[in-house]
Amino acid sequence: MVWFQHEDQAIDRKTVEQLCDRLVEEAAQRLGIGTYRRVLLLPPDITRAHAGVGWMTEHLYRHLDARGVEVHVIPTLGQHVPHTEEVNRWMFGSIPHERIHAHDWKGGVTHVGTVPAEVVAEKTGGAVDWEMPIDLNTMTVSEEWDLIVHIGHVVPHEVLGFANHNKNYFIGLGGKRTLGAAHMASAVYGIENNLGNLLTPVRACFNWAEEEFLGHLPDVYLQVVMNYDDAGHLVHTGVFVGDDLDTYYAAARASMAQNITTFDEPVHKIVAVMQADEFHATWVANKAVYRTRMAMADGGELLIIAPGVERFGEQPEVDALIRKYGYLSKAEVLEKYATEADMQEIPHATAHLVHGSAEGRFRITYAPGGLSREEVESVGYGYLDMEEALRRYDPEMMRDGWNTMDDGERVFFISTPSAGLWSTADRLAARATHELHP
C-alpha cells in the first residue's frame, strides 16, 4: 500500500525534506524497527541528478547519522561508470566518500534466483523464451539492514515503461546476466511498446522476481514526480512513499498524466539538449532518442546538443561494440545476434544498438563536445559542429516547446529530454500490451 503521498503544483525542498523525515518515522512503526542500527540508501546515479535525488539522499543520511545510525549509500549505477569522489561530492554533498560504494556489475553480485523461461515467455507474449538470471549487488542482499530506502525519479522509461521502483534492484544493482537478459528482452519486444506503459513485460518479470526472491528485505520506496512550471523550470509535483507496487503505480500514473506530451501530427524537427555535467556517453545521452522517437515524423530530424558527450559506451567493451556495429534496426541486430559472439557476450549493449536506432524512419544528428565527425558518422548518426549548433539553437535563448528561427525554420525544443516522453497520440494508442494490466 502507499504509506503516504503529497501532490501539489510545486513542492519546495523544505517540504520534501520533511517528507523524508516522515518516511524514517513511519518505516520504524510499519516495519517494526525498534532501533535503527544500519540503513542502506539506494539513489540513482548522476544521470538523474536533476531530480534532486542527491540532496534528498544527503538529507536522509544526515537525519539518520544524527541519531547514531550507520548509514551506507550505493548509487544504482547499473553498468554506468562509477562516480569519482568529486562526482559524489557534487551530487551527495557532505556524505563521506567512504560511505558511498560503487556497484560492481561484474564481480560484486550474488545470484538470488532465476525467472524461468516459461514465465518470461508468458510476460513477453511469446516474444522471447529465455530465462532471466537474477544477480544482484552482494552488499545489498547479503548484509543485514534494518531499512533499505530506494530514492528515485519516476519518469517514462524505454525498458520498464517508467523508471524507478524495483528497477533500482534489477537494473541499477543488477549483474551482467540480469542486465543482458532484461535489455535484450525489451529490445525484442519493442522499445515503443515499452515507453510510458505502466506495466511492461520486463517490469512484470521484475515484479515476479521481487515477490519470489526479495520479500524478506526491509525496503521502502521514496519516489518523486516532476513537471515544468509556468516559467519552464522543472519542479517537484509529487512525493510517493510506500513498500509495494501500489506506490509505483500511484507515482507512475502521476508521471503519465504530467510527463507525456502528445502531438496530433508528427514533428519534423526536434532539438534536444543533454546536460554536460550529467551525460558523457551516447549510452545515456540517447535518452533524447528514446523519449522523442514516437513524436518524430518520417524523414524528420532529431538534433541532440550534447556538450559533455565524449564516448559511445559507458564501459570499454560496450564502447567497442557500438563503434564496431553502429546503431542498427531491430531486424539487423537480431540477424547479427544469432551469429556474432561479441554481441552475445554483452546483450545489454546489443539491445542498446536497437534502442538508439531511428529504424530508418528519421535522421539523428549529434553535436557532441568530445567526438569527431568521423566517429559520429561511423555509428550511423549525422554530425553538427558544436559551435554551429549553439550559435543556431542557443539553449539560453530557446524556450521549451515550439520555436521559430530567424530564417523561418520551426523546431520543437526540449531542454531536459530525460524528464518526459513526447509522442503522437496515435503512436501511444498503437502500443502492444498483450493483456498485461496492472
User: Residue 414 sits in a domain of what CATH number?
Assistant: 3.90.226.30
| 379 CB-side CA count, 13 A | 29
Looking at the structure, do residues 127 and 246 belong to the same domain, yes or no?
yes
256: left (phi over 0), alpha (psi -120 to 50) or beta: alpha
Domain end position, chosen among 260, 291, 318: 260
Integer Cα distance of 113 and 99 in angstroms: 28
Looking at the structure, do residues 89 and 184 belong to the same domain, yes or no?
yes
Asked if 241 and 261 touch (Cβ cutoff 8 Å), the reply is: no
Q: Residue 48: what pLDDT?
A: 81
Q: Which DSSP helix (H) or strand (E) runs through 138?
A: helix 138-142
Cell 538534433, located at residue: 303
Domain count, the chain: 2
Q: Residue 385: what pLDDT?
A: 97
Asked if 296 and 161 touch (Cβ cutoff 8 Å), the reply is: no
Q: Can you give the residue range of the structural domain that contains 397?
A: 264-436
* CA-angle at 155, arms to 145 and 266, nearest 5°: 160
Q: Residue 11: what pLDDT?
A: 98
Cβ atoms within 10 Å of 126's Cβ, excluding its own: 10
Looking at the structure, do residues 191 and 58 belong to the same domain, yes or no?
yes
Domain end position, chosen among 206, 237, 260: 260
Q: Phi/psi of residue 210, each to 5°? A: -60, -45
Cell 516532476, located at residue: 226
Q: Record the cell numbers describing residue 162, joined without a space.
A: 517508467
Looking at the structure, do residues 246 and 275 belong to the same domain, yes or no?
no
pTM across the whole model: 0.91
Looking at the structure, do residues 42 and 189 belong to the same domain, yes or no?
yes
Residue from 332, 327, 329 nearest 312 by CA: 327
What is the mean pLDDT, run by run of 10 residues, along the chain of 438 residues? Answer: 96 98 97 96 89 96 97 92 91 96 96 97 92 97 97 94 94 95 92 92 96 96 95 94 96 97 97 94 96 98 98 94 97 95 94 95 98 98 97 95 96 95 93 62
Q: Residue 118: what pLDDT?
A: 97
Q: Residue 1: what pLDDT?
A: 84
Strands (E), 192-336: 219-228, 234-242, 260-263, 267-273, 296-306
Q: How long is the chain?
A: 438
Q: Please, which residues have CB within 8 angstroms of residue 40's CB and are 6 or more apart in sequence?
A: 71, 72, 73, 74, 139, 140, 143, 145, 147, 148, 149
Amino acid at 334: L
Looking at the structure, do residues 273 and 245 belong to the same domain, yes or no?
no
Domain end position, chosen among 225, 260, 295: 260
Looking at the structure, do residues 300 and 230 belong to the same domain, yes or no?
no
Looking at the structure, do residues 305 and 211 belong to the same domain, yes or no?
no
Relative orientation angle of helices 53-65 and 13-30, to the nearest 10 degrees: 50
**CA–CA distances in Å: residue 386 to residues 218, 232, 287, 369, 370:** 48, 24, 19, 6, 9
Looking at the structure, do residues 339 and 226 belong to the same domain, yes or no?
no
User: What CATH number does residue 218 fall under?
Assistant: 3.40.50.11440
